[in-house]
């Protein structure tokens, strides 16, 4: 299959590819979660839900592998270094009790993926303690076992966990594409800059494309 992408077309075989949705969790997307405790306007992120859902449903229909990640810490915070927990001056820190349970702690209501994008049976869900999806998760080994070589990314936030995961993927040899309208930031300028950074210099990290271009590619082989 071929997607009309920047800086040039992105060729992939569905059976060697995965759609990776980064951290589409209530903690980042909804009021009362981690994103809001950091002072962000979380409503900005809601804009990508319809396009991301459409892409997810089309990818599922085509039979592609789906990976969801959650930024999630153990209840005892043994996987949350002080360098992470003590950053900034948030109203609530990781592990504190908020309106949706303990902030960024695995199993809490706020840590769940939003309903519109909830995983279904057979999809992979990775709990990650860091910003990158490959750090301390076993994701690379899992993808290797399945013969995955190409990753199509969406999720939040563009310049933090999405970009970190794409760079990790690039270092591990995956051809990676970022779906432009399926990723969002609390800072529009950071999203725009990240898209540019990913695809600059001949695609130094990877490709970007719209979800419409992905849907067209999937349709062309249906």
- Considering only residues 54-83, where is the footprint of ligand C5J by CB under 6 A? 71
The least distance separating ligand C5J from the CB of residue 88, rounded to whole angstroms, comes to 10
CA–CA distance, 34 with 136 (Å, rounded to integer)? 21
Q: Where are the alpha helices (DSSP H) in the chain?
A: 26-29, 34-37, 49-62, 82-85, 139-145, 163-171, 188-203, 211-220
C-beta closer to ligand C5J: residue 23 or 168: 23
CB proximity list for 124: less than 8 A, separation 6 or greater: 18, 65, 66, 67, 68, 142
Binding residue (CB under 6 A) for ligand C5J from 6, 66, 94, 161: 161
C-beta closer to ligand C5J: residue 157 or 218: 157
Residues belonging to the chain: 222
Binding residue (CB under 6 A) for ligand C5J from 10, 18, 20, 23: 23
CA–CA distance, 49 with 45 (Å, rounded to integer)? 8
Binding residue (CB under 6 A) for ligand C5J from 157, 165, 183, 208: 157
CA distances from 128 to 82, 106, 197 (A): 16, 10, 24
Which residues have a catalytic role annotated?
Answer: 23, 128, 161
The least distance separating ligand C5J from the CB of residue 156, rounded to whole angstroms, comes to 6
What pairs with residue 65 in β-bridges? 18
CA–CA distance, 130 with 2 (Å, rounded to integer)? 32
Binding residue (CB under 6 A) for ligand C5J from 92, 100, 148, 156: 156
The least distance separating ligand C5J from the CB of residue 158, rounded to whole angstroms, comes to 8
Q: How many residues bind ligand C5J (CB under 6 A)?
A: 7
The footprint of ligand C5J (CB under 6 A) covers 23, 28, 71, 156-157, 160-161
């Amino acid at each position: 299959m071929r997607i009309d992408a920047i800086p040039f077309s992105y060729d992939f075989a569905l059976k060697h590819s995965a759609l990776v949705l980064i951290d589409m969790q209530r903690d980042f997307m909804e009021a009362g979660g981690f994103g809001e405790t950091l002072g962000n306007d979380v409503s900005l992120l809601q804009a990508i839900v319809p396009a991301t859902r459409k892409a997810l449903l089309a990818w599922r229909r085509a039979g592609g592998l789906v990976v969801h990640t959650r930024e999630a810490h153990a209840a005892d915070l043994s996987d949350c270094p002080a360098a992470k927990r003590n950053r900034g001056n948030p109203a609530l820190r990781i592990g504190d009790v908020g309106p949706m349970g303990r902030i960024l702690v695995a199993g809490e209501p706020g840590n769940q993926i939003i309903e519109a994008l909830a995983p279904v049976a057979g999809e992979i869900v990775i709990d990650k303690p860091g910003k990158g999806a490959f750090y301390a998760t076993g994701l690379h080994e899992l993808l290797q076992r399945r013969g995955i070589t190409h990753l199509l990314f969406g999720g939040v936030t563009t310049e933090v966990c999405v970009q970190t995961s794409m760079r990790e993927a690039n270092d591990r040899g995956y051809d990676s594409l970022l779906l432009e309208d399926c990723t969002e930031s609390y800072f529009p300028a950071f999203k725009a800059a990240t898209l540019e950074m990913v695809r600059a210099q001949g695609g130094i990290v990877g490709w970007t494309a719209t979800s419409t271009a992905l849907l067209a590619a999937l349709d062309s082989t249906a």
